[in-house]
Amino acid sequence: ETGVTQSPTHLIKTRGQQVTLRCSSQSGHNTVSWYQQALGQGPQFIFQYYREEENGRGNFPPRFSGLQFPNYSSELNVNALELDDSALYLCASSPGAAGSSYNSPLHFGNGTRLTVT
Amino acid sequence: SQQGEEDPQALSIQEGENATMNCSYKTSINNLQWYRQNSGRGLVHLILIRSNEREKHSGRLRVTLDTSKKSSSLLITASRAADTASYFCATDLLEGNTGFQKLVFGTGTRLLVSP
C-alpha cells in the first residue's frame, strides 16, 4: 500500500505568478482534500474532490482551483499569488464517499511548502 | 472558520509524565478525530471517536468525548521524547447550504517532551 505523496516539497514563487502543486493519493481512495496550513495554525480546508469533481469548498477565492484524475492523482492550482498564500499545502485522501460524515481517517501527504516573495 | 479549539496552546513535560490536551467545538458532530503532526510534516491520524462513544483507547492514548459540553480530551500516558509534536482535533462541520460535510481542524497543542 503506497501512501500519499506530494510534489514539490518546497517552492518559491513571486507575487502575481501561478503555481501548480501535485498529489498522488493512496490507491483506491476516491476522495482527495486540500488544506492550507499557515505557520503555527491548524490546517484550513480549501476544497474536496470526489471522482474528479469538486463537491465541497472552503472560504477560498476562485483563484484556488483543482483537478482530480482517474489515476488517483490531483492538482491544486493557485493563480495571481499573494504574499499571504505562503503556507504549507497539504493533500489528504480517504476512501470515504464524498459529502458524507467523516467516518474514516484522512491520509495526509507531507505537504508542499510554498513561499511567495 | 475554526470549529475546534485546543487547550493548552503549548505544553512542556518530562519523559514519563502524562500529557492531557483538550478540544472544544461549537456545533453538533458525528465524530471527532485526533491527529498528530511532526514539525513541517503531514498529519497522522491517531484516533476517531464517534458521537455515541464516551471513551476510546489506543495504546498509550486515551480519548474522551463529552457531547453535552462539546469537548474532548486526549491523554498520552508515560510520554516519550518521540511524542514531541503538535496535536490537532478535527470535527465534521455541516455546510448548511449544500449539505456537504468538511473536516475542520483546531488550532493545535504543541507538546514538548524533554528527556
- Look at residue B22 and tell me whether its pLDDT is greater than 90: yes
Are B108 and A33 a contacting pair at CB < 8 A? no
A114 inside 8 A of chain B by CB: no
| Predicted local distance difference test score (pLDDT) of residue B17 | 97
Contact list, B92 vs chain A (CB under 8 Å) = 101-102
Cell numbers at B66, concatenated: 463529552
| Predicted local distance difference test score (pLDDT) of residue A21 | 98
| Predicted local distance difference test score (pLDDT) of residue B30 | 86
Are A42 and B33 a contacting pair at CB < 8 A? no
Contact list, B10 vs chain A (CB under 8 Å) = none
- Look at residue B109 and tell me whether its pLDDT is greater than 80: yes
| Predicted local distance difference test score (pLDDT) of residue B1 | 47
C-alpha A14/C-alpha A1 separation (Å) is 37
Of A42, A88, A110, the CB nearest to B107: A42
Of B40, B92, B95, the CB nearest to A102: B92
- Look at residue A45 and tell me whether its pLDDT is greater than 50: yes
Q: Residue B53 burial (CB < 10 Å; 0-12/13-18/19+)?
A: middle
CB A76 within 8 A of CB A20: yes
C-alpha A77/C-alpha A21 separation (Å) is 6
For B52-75, write each residue's pLDDT tens digit.
999 999 999 999 999 999 999 999
Task: State the average pLDDT over residues A76-95.
Answer: 96
| Predicted local distance difference test score (pLDDT) of residue A2 | 60
| Predicted local distance difference test score (pLDDT) of residue B94 | 73
- Look at residue A51 and tell me whether its pLDDT is greater than 90: no
Residue of chain A minimizing CA distance to B32: A102
**Residue A98 pLDDT level (bands cut at 50, 70, 90):** low
- Look at residue A24 and tell me whether its pLDDT is greater than 80: yes
Q: Is B83 helix (H, G, I), strand (E, B) or coil?
A: helix
| Predicted local distance difference test score (pLDDT) of residue A105 | 87
| Predicted local distance difference test score (pLDDT) of residue B96 | 63
CA distances from A15 to A8, A64, A106, A114 (A): 19, 15, 31, 12
Task: State the average pLDDT over residues A81-88.
Answer: 98
Are B43 and A92 a contacting pair at CB < 8 A? yes
| Predicted local distance difference test score (pLDDT) of residue A1 | 47
Across chain A, what does the average pLDDT equal? 91
Residues 6+ apart with CB under 8 A from A40: none
